[in-house]
């Protein structure tokens, strides 16, 4: 590292300067002090580790900082809560310098501005690999958090936006070479994912019975809802909103799309929510199937149906 820790901390404090009325003591003291909100406190944490979640060769510091905040905000959104505060614990290796670190914090600041939350503190450590661990707190009106376990037989299953774009974007990044037509939105999907905070609020207002953000692929995340609720699901293959340029396999098993998967009590709720989400955010809401009794997650193509394995598309694609 080409700066002392003290110099780096003061540079970071400048990047993160500015605090809202709820921040009583922000970056720079032993701990942050914030005013409690009126609702229930929602907490989540997620770490992005070099070599496992990203590569320094393909990921910019700014995108990494932005994404480290967004993936946590997405989990807050999936509870139908609003993000409030963030903390980050950075481990920096010899492969990065002070400019890289300030860019990383700049990306975090950008995401915090976008989603109206405050980065109130953090920690720096040296280590063999870069790791960006972020904690985000949120707030929800008492009893209004939407859990995974609320899905009931007869509920419609809906998903926001499109799926598979992030996995396809990673494939494009690994391929390298000049960009082809249609590559850019896929790279955006991977490196600049969007947390569906406003969309989650609309789904909650329309009586969403369960909600999860699609971080590990539709197959696995839908199976998590089914296991939590003790129900099964039937989805229609033709209605899965596969991102342009992505494959069905990437949509089902790719992960990191950070779209919302929710269950709604009836078709009228789906119509109301989809109109509102389209009007407010320009984002599609697609009905892909329904919750059923039992435990199996079935995918149908009209003529036949098969079990959708929670590990992804490979099992489904294998000839039986």
Q: Is 259 in the site for Mg ion (CB under 5 A)?
A: no
C-alpha–C-alpha distance, residues 173 and 176, integer Å = 5
| Binding region for Mg ion (CB under 5 A) out of 17-25, 73-81, 126-134, 166-174 | 73-81
Q: How far is the CB of 124 from Mg ion (least distance, A)?
A: 27
Angle between helices 183-191 and 165-175 (to 10 degrees): 110
Residue 230 — left, alpha, or beta (φ > 0 → left; ψ -120 to 50 → alpha)? left
Among residues 75, 250, 256, 276, the one that binds Mg ion under rule CB under 5 A: 75
CB nearer Mg ion, residue 12 or residue 297: 297
Q: Is 221 in the site for Mg ion (CB under 5 A)?
A: no
| Binding region for Mg ion (CB under 5 A) out of 21-29, 69-77, 202-210, 310-318 | 69-77
Q: How far is the CB of 258 from Mg ion (least distance, A)?
A: 8
CB nearer Mg ion, residue 255 or residue 289: 255
CB nearer Mg ion, residue 75 or residue 183: 75
| Binding region for Mg ion (CB under 5 A) out of 6-14, 156-164, 211-219, 271-279 | 211-219
CB nearer Mg ion, residue 61 or residue 195: 195
Q: Is 249 in the site for Mg ion (CB under 5 A)?
A: no
Number of other residues whose CB lies within 10 A of the CB of residue 38: 7
**Residues pairing with 114 in the sheet:** none
Q: How far is the CB of 221 from Mg ion (least distance, A)?
A: 8
Q: Which of 39, 63, 263, 18 is nearest to 170 (CA)?
A: 63
Among residues 183, 199, 213, 250, the one that binds Mg ion under rule CB under 5 A: 213
Q: Which residue has the tokens 């109130």?
A: 120
CB nearer Mg ion, residue 61 or residue 79: 79
Q: Are strands 259-264 and 285-292 parallel, antiparallel or unpaired?
A: unpaired
Q: Which residue has the tokens 């990047």?
A: 15
Burial-class residue 123 by CB neighbours within 10 Å (0-12, 13-18, 19+): exposed
Q: Is 250 in the site for Mg ion (CB under 5 A)?
A: no
Q: How far is the CB of 128 from Mg ion (least distance, A)?
A: 28
Burial-class residue 89 by CB neighbours within 10 Å (0-12, 13-18, 19+): middle
Sign of CA dihedral 55, 242, 183, 175: positive
Q: Is 216 in the site for Mg ion (CB under 5 A)?
A: no
Q: How far is the CB of 215 from Mg ion (least distance, A)?
A: 5
8 Å CB contact between 266 and 204:
no
CB nearer Mg ion, residue 101 or residue 215: 215
Chain positions contacting Mg ion, by CB under 5 A: 75, 213, 215
């Amino acid at each position: 590292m080409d700066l002392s820790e003290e110099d780096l901390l003061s540079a970071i404090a400048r990047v993160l300067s500015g605090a809202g009325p709820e921040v009583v003591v922000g970056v720079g003291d032993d701990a942050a002090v914030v005013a409690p909100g009126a609702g229930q406190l929602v907490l989540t944490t997620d770490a992005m580790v070099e070599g496992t979640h990203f590569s320094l060769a393909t990921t910019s510091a700014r995108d990494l900082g932005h994404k480290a905040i967004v993936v946590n905000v997405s989990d807050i959104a999936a509870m139908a809560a609003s993000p409030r505060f963030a903390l980050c614990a950075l481990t920096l290796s010899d492969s990065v310098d002070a400019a890289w670190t300030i860019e990383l914090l700049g990306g975090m600041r950008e995401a915090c501005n976008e989603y109206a939350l405050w980065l109130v503190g953090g920690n720096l450590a040296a280590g063999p690999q870069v790791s960006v661990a972020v904690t985000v707190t949120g707030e929800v009106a008492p009893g209004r958090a939407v859990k995974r376990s609320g899905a009931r037989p007869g509920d419609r299953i809906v998903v926001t936006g499109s799926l598979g774009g992030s996995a396809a974007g990673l494939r494009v990044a690994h391929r390298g070479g000049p960009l082809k037509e249609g590559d850019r939105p896929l790279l955006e999907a991977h490196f600049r994912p969007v947390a569906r905070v406003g969309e989650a609020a609309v789904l909650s207002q329309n009586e969403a019975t369960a909600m999860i953000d699609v971080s590990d692929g539709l197959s696995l995340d839908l199976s998590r809802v089914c296991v939590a609720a003790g129900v099964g699901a039937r989805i229609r293959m033709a209605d899965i909103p596969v991102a342009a340029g992505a494959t069905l396999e990437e949509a089902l098993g790719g992960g990191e799309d950070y779209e919302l998967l929710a269950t709604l009590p009836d078709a009228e709720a789906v119509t109301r929510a989809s109109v509102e989400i389209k009007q407010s955010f320009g984002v599609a809401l697609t009905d892909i199937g329904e919750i059923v009794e039992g435990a199996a997650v079935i995918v149908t193509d009209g003529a036949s149906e098969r079990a959708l394995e929670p590990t992804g598309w490979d099992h489904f694609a294998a000839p039986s």
